[in-house]
A and B are shown apart, each in its own frame.
Chain A
Amino acid sequence: MALLELQKVTKIFGGLTAVGGLDMYVDKGEIVGLIGPNGAGKTTVFNTISGSSRPTSGKVLFKGEDITGLKPHSVAKKGLMRTFQVTTVFSELTVLENIRLGSHLISRIGFWPAVFDTLKTRRRERELLDKAHELADFMGLGGRQYETAKNLSHGHQRALEMAIALVAEPELLLLDEPVAGMSVEETVDMMKKIRAARDRGVTILLVEHDMKLVMDVCTRICVLNFGTKLAEGNPKEICENKGVIAAYLGSGFQHTC
């Protein structure tokens, strides 16, 4: 059984079919890339999976369970987290507070124990703080734990976003253009982080325009064009696919696949 399965997912905005009858799956342990020209419907697919918008028709199954149309917080609870195309962090909070908020689902602190700040609550908060430190180190934010998120560089904010998404140990992580606007070194660094996250047991589905990252990191690639699937396969197959070259990659695309 696939970890994530999309069955005939369609999303229509007014007269525009952003996604039309998309079938797709992600298996456990994979790093799947979702690529395609601008406006192909990649982010719309993400939104229908994470609950930001309900698909017009079709089904989204996660671990075999129908999660179509669930609210984002309920989807997150099932073990599915995401990051956003536009960097989204809690700008006025510190790095640690950001990551601590990400651990909401694993905090297991009740309302009254939180209000009365019981010893058990304090112990649990300390554990969560340790965990936040660990995630900050993992994402290369060591030494910046007490900085306010808005003062971080773009690359670090992106890393923080991923730390927030990873701390609650999701089974599936959706990354929406994780290296957009990053320098070459930052991109290489992020590729390592994505692989390391997979090695922690997180399955990853990502949207990205940086073909070097996609071809190097992804185990399987799905190409969208005008809201429908154009091709699917491993990086080598995608590189050589005539349809994909015509629609997206361009004839000049050279990559050692």
Chain B
Amino acid sequence: MNRGRFRKTAVYVVIVAMLVVLPAYVKNLYWLGVITTMLINVLIVSGFWLVMTTGQVNLGHAAFAAIGAYISAALVSAYGFSSWLSLPIALATAGLVALIIGVITLRITGIYFIITTVALAEVTRIVFGMWEHPFGGLVGILNLKPPASVALPGLPAVQFTSRAALYYLVLLCVLIGLFIVRRLDRSAIGLIFRGIQYSDNLAEHVGINIMAYKVLAFVVGSMCAALGGVLYTYTTGAILPTSFTMTQANYYIAWAAVGGLATFGGPLVGTVSLSILSEYLRPVKEYEPIIYAGLLIIAVLGFRSGLAGGLTRLWEFTMSSARKRGAEG
């Protein structure tokens, strides 16, 4: 038990270390940009998955990324706020919106909840598309400046004009977000989320206030999306009504399911591998949704534990055969 825990921690440390030194090896700015976007998507998908652990599929998840991105961008461009101040305001706004929408919609379950969240996604897109000031209407908000430089006492000021600096900013924010999701999932609260997923009726009868926990997962998950949205405006310098729509949420489902829905690591593995795949699919870009749909169907029908489950089994198999060989030799 403890050894397994140690091994897992070791895996995480290695991955984080690799991510920290990555810009030194990836000199191609295009690829660094791709990886930065991928990190943002990992965070958003992780939030999507957290809501899913309570048994609710939120197709309106991208709407919260849009809300985060738009609030932050509008505060910066129209009202001259600093990016550092707009970030917490955007997160708080998204959290508040999630709280209100969650309290209303989370009493609905299953397919009906999914339909409601489709409406949420569409309404959000249309509202931002129609709202000229300060959200820029159909044009969106363009030409945002990167966040202001940060001067820490005793250190040279950090400029966020380079891709590498933005990468580290995104990495830091994403790791904090993922850490929170991971901690929630591993705690007693995560177990309660699963309990609600497998039987909300029984969960309620053992004294769990299921609405409170569903709303909690929804708010935290949505704030992950909002943080992703804000980071998106930092890296791309723009936000359009079409940046975060329901199409995006379909990708979240595909990423999460192909990676494996059972564990925290699944959606991460899925997002990373499918993002890399999509880079190689550029020549046949218009067929990408079809390929994704195919993978999604395969994952749902025959490969429930996803890529992460496959990797875990492969790892266990290698370890056990290595142990056997060790025992024989």
Residues of A within 8 Å of B194, CB to CB, are 90, 92-93, 97
Of the residues B188, B206, B208, contact of A125 by C-beta under 8 Å? B188
Bound CA span A165–B194, Å:
18
Q: Which of B183, B204, B205, B210 has a CB less than 8 Å from the CB of A117?
A: B183
Whole-angstrom CA separation of A50 from B201 in the bound complex: 11
Complex CA distance for A90 and B191, rounded to whole angstroms: 11
Q: A77: shortest Cβ distance to chain B, in Å?
A: 5
Select which of B180, B188, B201, B210 is within 8 A of A107 by beta carbon. Answer: B188
User: Per-residue CB proximity of B175-188 to A under 8 Å, as 1/0?
Assistant: 00000100110111
Asked if A116 is an interface residue, CB under 8 A from chain B, the answer is yes
Stretch at the interface among A3-11, A68-76, A217-225, A249-257: A68-76
Chain A residues whose C-beta falls within 8 Å of the C-beta of B206 in the assembled complex:
76, 81, 101-102, 104-105, 164-165, 168
Which secondary structure dominates where chain B touches chain A? helix
For the complex, what is the distance from the CA of A179 to the CA of B209, rounded to whole Å?
29
A115 at interface by CB-CB < 8 Å = yes
Among B186, B189, B198, B204, the residue within 8 A (CB) of A72 is B204
B189 neighbours in A (Cβ, 8 Å): 111, 114-115
Closest chain-A Cβ to B223's Cβ sits at a distance in Å of 14
Q: Considering only CB atoms, which chain A residue lies closest to B207 in the complex? A: A76
Interface of A is mostly: helix
Nearest residue (CB) in A for B195 is: A101
Q: How far is the CB of B123 from chain A (nearest CB, A)?
A: 30
CB pair B204 A73 closer than 8 Å = yes
Answer yes or no: A42 CB below 8 A from chain B CBs: no
Across the interface, name the chain B residue whose C-beta is closest to A77. B207
Are B183 and A88 in contact, with the CB atoms below 8 A? no
| Per-position binary interface string of chain A over residues 75-103, scored 1 when its CB falls under 8 Å from any chain B CB and 0 otherwise | 01100011010001111110001001110
Q: Is the CB of B191 within 8 A of A97?
A: yes
A101 contacts B203, CB within 8 Å? yes
Question: Which A residues are CB-close (under 8 A) to B183?
Answer: 115-117
Confirm or deny: A211 has a beta carbon within 8 angstroms of a beta carbon on chain B: no
A114 x B187 contact (CB < 8 A): yes
B94, CB-defined interface residue at 8 Å: no
Given A76-B206, A97-B191, output 19 extra A-B contacts at Cβ < 8 Å.
A50-B205, A71-B204, A73-B209, A73-B210, A82-B205, A84-B202, A88-B199, A88-B201, A90-B195, A90-B202, A93-B194, A97-B194, A100-B188, A104-B206, A104-B208, A115-B184, A116-B183, A165-B206, A168-B206
| Sample (24) of A-B pairs whose CB atoms are under 8 Å apart | A50-B205, A71-B209, A73-B204, A73-B210, A84-B201, A84-B202, A89-B199, A90-B202, A90-B203, A92-B198, A93-B194, A93-B195, A97-B194, A101-B192, A101-B203, A102-B206, A104-B192, A104-B207, A114-B188, A114-B189, A115-B180, A116-B183, A164-B206, A168-B207
